[in-house]
Amino acid sequence: MNMIRTAMLLAFLTALFMGVGYLIGGSGGMTIAFLIATGMNLFSYWNADKMVLSMHHAREVDERTAPEFYRIVRDLAHRAGLPMPRVYIIDNPQPNAFATGRNPENAAVAATTGLLQRLTPEEVAGVMAHELAHIQNRDTLTMTITATLAGAISMLANFAFFFGGGRNDNNNPLGIIGVLIAAIVAPLAAMLVQMAISRTREYAADRRGAEICGQPLWLASALAKIARSARQIVNVDAERNPATAHLFIINPLSGQRMDNLFSTHPDTENRIAALQAMAREAGLSGTVGFAAGFSGPWGRARKGPWS
């Protein structure tokens, strides 16, 4: 069912891209837009993870360079029945994390240094379980390609606004009206689809992530901390690449306290309430130690920021 929804989403965004091409250049513009959209879909399928990781200057780590963080991801992946993803750390003071990759066999998870320094091991486990849930649900491919196409639609719309003609001819069938539609309506539609996809998948990933780590309150506590810090600490790379914002567990963009309609993420308080309700249903409390659910040296004293 998830694959069907993904196919429908990509078909809609491709059609929207073609529609913008038609408004700019008629049937010829629509054909060119179709070819561009097809090429972008193929390129994004194979290279989206590399693009996103590069945008945020992520560096790959292993058990030698980040032993505690790497073991958390490894044990969670084992509990989820997933292949071990590549593990990255982003040198950024804002606590946040995301997952990317076209499938579970070619996936990666990334966390900022701010997240590893500010959260407890239990909270980090909750966050990474959430990201592994996105991988298991195959959300990462959908969300990354959506970001690529939505960004392309916005760029094409800007092109239409600045270079579109005002004539009503075969190359520009609706004249200035078509240009205005392309410049205003198309990117708005793409943005709404992008936000709707992200918001619905965050709730599913929260629930599945809580099941993977075995303690919903770990993730609930982490979300509260990340949300508070994200409003105070600017994520420069995210501000430069806003189309990737919906990939993060919490919106990384500053100054985004807007109405829920225009949020790329569900309301954090609602997410926390859902996780707390899940914990109550399971009879769990927030006092369960990390060693209760995992094997490994979790009880040892920590030496510095996860190194």
User: Please, which residues have CB within 8 angstroms of residue 173's CB and are 6 or more apart in sequence?
Assistant: 22, 23, 26
Amino acid identity for residue 192 in this structure: L
Residues 6+ apart with CB under 8 A from 257: 231
Convert 208-237 to b/e letters by CB count within 10 Å (16 or more is b).
bbbbbbbbbbbbbbbbbbbbebbbebebeb
**From 68, 131, 239, 281, active-site residue:** 131
Q: Which residues are annotated as a binding site?
A: 130, 134, 202
Based on the residue annotation, tell me whether 131 is a catalytic residue of this protein: yes
Is residue 229 within a helix (H) or strand (E), and if so which, with residue range?
helix 216-232
Distance, CA of 253 to CA of 233 (rounded, Å): 9
Which segments of 53-174 are extended strands (E)?
58-61, 86-90, 97-101, 107-112
Binding site listing for Zn(2+): 130, 134, 202
Of 267, 247, 246, 263, the closest CA to residue 255 belongs to 263
Catalytic residues: 131
